[in-house]
Chains A and B, each alone.
Chain A
Amino acid sequence: MAFTLAQKLLARHARDIASDADLAPGRIVTCALSLTLVNDITGPLCISSMKAMGVDRVFDRTKTVFVMDHFTPQKDIASAEQVMISRRFAEEQNLAHYYEGGDAGVEHALLPEQGLVGPGDLVIGADSHTCTYGGVGAFATGMGSADVAAGMALGETWFRVPESIRVEFTGTLPEYLGGKDLILWLIGQIGVDGARYKALEFGGSAIDALPVDGRMTIANMAIEAGGKCGLFAADAATLAYCKNAGRSGDTPISADPGAVYEQTLVCDVSTLEPQVACPHIPSNVKPVSAVKDVTINQVIIGSCTNGRISDMRAAASVLKGRTVKKGLRCIVLPATPAVWKQALREGLVETFLEAGCVMGPASCGPCLGGHLGILGGGERAVSTTNRNFRGRMGSLDSEVYLAGPAVAAASAVTGVITDPGTL
């Protein structure tokens, strides 16, 4: 039988399949896990679940990852105490991968960069954007704390084999566009539940040419279409990325020719405009020209969606020699310490500071309205993050527009939503 990427990846880890038919969409399979992940918000619930399960050791101390990234640097007493619960547990369990402070970054930028995930892996994380690792050819999906606790205890979990939607991006990406524009376009087409319970599988010539950072941006927002995962074949670019991250032994992986898809969408990206998701739902997507004069108070450049070095470069190239509009705050949060250092080395941090940006730590911070850039009533932001639900970044009366780093940077200069090509 010809398999989709989702089926192929699950098959590698499945423990209870007798024949190909057991991998038909809708079937339930039990799979061994390559890695399990929690953060400072979901960690404490996971730990208490494990205790209630009567489990005193994780299944593998080298496959259990704790990243303190949401309300860190600890924003208040309660969040500091939540981190203490995770830190104590990591010490007790002698976990190989506990990240806090100067080691920590936004988890879904950090793990691929550290070489902890790669092609063919099966990862669950108590964070919905765990699907990011589809960008490096891993089957990765978000679950709740109890499910991840069970995974940490048993080293396995159950999956419903998903139907797959194939998305082909053809043509050549115009200047200033990146992965963000492609995934926003798709969510605009299929809606926030268009891929509910399903896998999104991406391919086509524009994807072949897209750097791994951009693929991770796309995979990251599969969940915003309701998807279980957003998958990419592992090709030469993936293998080079993983080797650079210190991994060895990775091999290419792709869907079988003739695999069956529930639906196939094709988009020629050559004529695409930068895309913007308008309030208050990620599917309310418009080309930037349709929202161009909307005034804004804040710009966020960062997050697990767009906080990687290529995003910093895209933003800096627009901000170079320009200044942030007076009265507007433009907050740049490189997603990991390594991205921060690289941005510093390349002079991007200087560009941001010269332009009048605020440089923030490697934290999820403002994306979920945690800290480091909260919106007051009536305020409006352009953000390179992933969700614009009502109240997501602060007041219920604030608004968030989602865009890529070039649009965000251009908008910071003018104070209104701006196509960087028109600057």
Chain B
Amino acid sequence: MHYTGRALRVGDHIDTDAIIPARYLVTSDPAELGAKCMSGLEEGWVDQVRPDDILVGGVNFGCGSSREHAPIAILGAGIKVVVAASFARIFYRNAFNVGLPLLEIGEDVNDIRHDHRLDVDTESGIIRNLTTGRTYTCPPLPSSIRDIISAGGLEGYVRQKVAERG
């Protein structure tokens, strides 16, 4: 998939309590969760999100709890892709499972400023910074994640496996 949009910059160690505080975990609805996205970072944070925005974090993005509500809240806020220096492991699996692609680019992320325009290609893992002209590359995804993506997500992947078993 291909995404072009503005970089919405957040910092290091953005935890799942910041992404979606626990008191909102009484629903699984993406729109309801999306309306509170990042409210643990700043009340009303979501109001600045514009269509096509690309969320850009620092190191260890998504650390903390296993709540899948976190990537669902990001999707619910209208953000379709996240770029960061690194991701916490549970969040990493969760995001791909719910259809939120992530690109891990290490220190290169420091080059990306709020409002830079980015062009992200998830298949090649190449990100072009249209503001500075620089290019960043995300290393290839683990084979297990690629299998899930090619099955159209985890749900399709499990359906396929169940069918194989008869």
Contacts and interface: CB of A to CB of B under 8 A. Distances in A.
A407 B166 CA distance: 57
Contact of A154 (B59, B60, B94, B162): B162
B66 A142 contact: yes
A126 interface: yes
Interface in A345-376: 368-370
Interface stretch (A51-59, A169-177, A258-266): A51-59
B48 interface: no
A54 B21 contact: no
B73 to A, nearest CB: 12
A369 B23 contact: yes
B23 A370 contact: yes
B90 A193 contact: no
Contacts of B13: 192-193, 281
A163 interface: no
A82 interface: yes
A78 B23 CA distance: 11
A8 interface: no
B138 to A, nearest CB: 16
Interface string B17-28: 110011101111
B17 A55 contact: no
B142 interface: yes
Contacts of B69: 41, 45
Interface in A182-213: 192-193, 196-197
A166 B133 CA distance: 43
A387 B86 contact: no
A44 B28 contact: yes
B5 interface: no
B11 to A, nearest CB: 11
Contact of B88 (A82, A143, A226, A390): A226
B142 A160 contact: yes
A190 to B, nearest CB: 12
Contact of B89 (A71, A149, A196): A196
Most buried by B among A144, A160, A370, A391: A144
Nearest to B163: A54
Interface stretch (B74-82, B117-125, B153-161): B153-161
B128 interface: no
B26 A391 contact: no
B25 A41 contact: yes
Interface in A12-62: 28, 41-42, 44-45, 48-49, 52-55
B111 interface: no
Contacts of B157: 150
Which of A28, A70, A76 is the most central at the interface, judged by chain B CB atoms within 10 Å of its CB? A28
Given A369-B23, A387-B64, A389-B18, 10 more contacts: A41-B67, A53-B155, A70-B22, A70-B25, A144-B97, A147-B154, A150-B157, A154-B161, A196-B86, A368-B22
Interface of B: 13, 15, 17-18, 21-23, 25-28, 40, 43, 59-60, 63-69, 86, 88-90, 93-94, 97-98, 142-144, 154-155, 157-159, 161-162
Interface of A: 28, 41-42, 44-45, 48-49, 52-55, 70-71, 76, 78-79, 81-82, 125-128, 130, 142-147, 149-150, 153-154, 158, 160, 192-193, 196-197, 223, 226, 228, 281, 368-370, 387, 389-392, 396
